[in-house]
Amino acid sequence: MPRYRLTLEYDGRPYVGWQRQSNGPSVQQALEEAVTRLTGETVVLTAAGRTDAGVHATGQVCHLEIDKELAPGRLRDGLNAHLREEAVVVLAAHRAAADFHARFSATGRGYLYRILNRRAYPALDRGRVWWYPRPLDAEAMHAAARLLLGTHDFSSFRASECQAASPVKTLDRLDVSRVGDEVQMIVEARSFLHHQVRNFAGSLALVGLGRWTQEDLRRVLAARDRRAGGPTAPPEGLYLTRVDYPVEMSEGD
């Protein structure tokens, strides 16, 4: 049975998240129903990460198996034809090896968090950025973010409902910079705890306000207690931008 890898872009606003749920439409449901309309087959898609309600993606990856042999380009275009009423698009489709797994084969993931830092609220990007009207010092946020790089117990930045076996993760990149009216945070690691990136954003915003110092953030990390951390930033500023795989799995037909 052929296995395919799909790269996706979606606006998270209309959905309860990636995963199928009983309380509303999901990205997974939209795609699976498109597959059924295209092929007549019922499938279950597996994603690299289960994004929460309101979270966006510019580089989400999922895999599926179908009985029908389709050229990857035809699969991409056919699915997009059935997704025209959805806020989801298939950017690319590739044939994948039988042992490829969108989640477990991944060697790294990248996220972008966007903060619109101006007095005026967003008109065009409403629901796609965290609007923060009070001035933020992006340089101070970036300097404090250096403390979080490397391998740590990130319990202070872990959601209470997180199901990860261990709170210990290795953070490869955490850069904060100002781009016009936005403060942008780029985060990369092999894997993340639930709400880890949003909790980083909420805590670093306190540094940007001048309410916390680098030493305060150091104490929060050492506390290993979510109650010591800053607020959870809203989902609308978060984007899953990339998923990395071993070279032999990175491309296909």
Q: Do residues 165 and 87 make contact, with C-beta atoms less than 8 angstroms apart?
A: no
User: 150-153 and 168-179: which strand pairing?
Assistant: antiparallel
52 is catalytic: yes
* Burial per residue of 215-243, b for 16 or more beta-carbon CB atoms within 10 angstroms, e otherwise: ebbeebbeeeebebbbebbbbbbbbbbbb
Query: Nearest CA to 7 among 128, 102, 92, 94?
Result: 92
Helix axes 138-145, 196-209, angle to 10 degrees: 130
Give Cβ neighbours of residue 230 (< 8 Å, ≥ 6 apart): 199, 202, 203, 204, 205, 206, 212, 220
Q: Do residues 128 and 114 make contact, with C-beta atoms less than 8 angstroms apart?
A: yes
Residue tagged active-site, from 52, 172, 175, 253: 52
| C-alpha to C-alpha distance for 236 and 61, rounded to whole angstroms | 20
Neighbours of 116 (CB within 10 A): 20
Q: Do residues 167 and 224 make contact, with C-beta atoms less than 8 angstroms apart?
A: yes
Terminal-residue alpha carbon distance, the chain: 15
- Show which residues are catalytic: 52
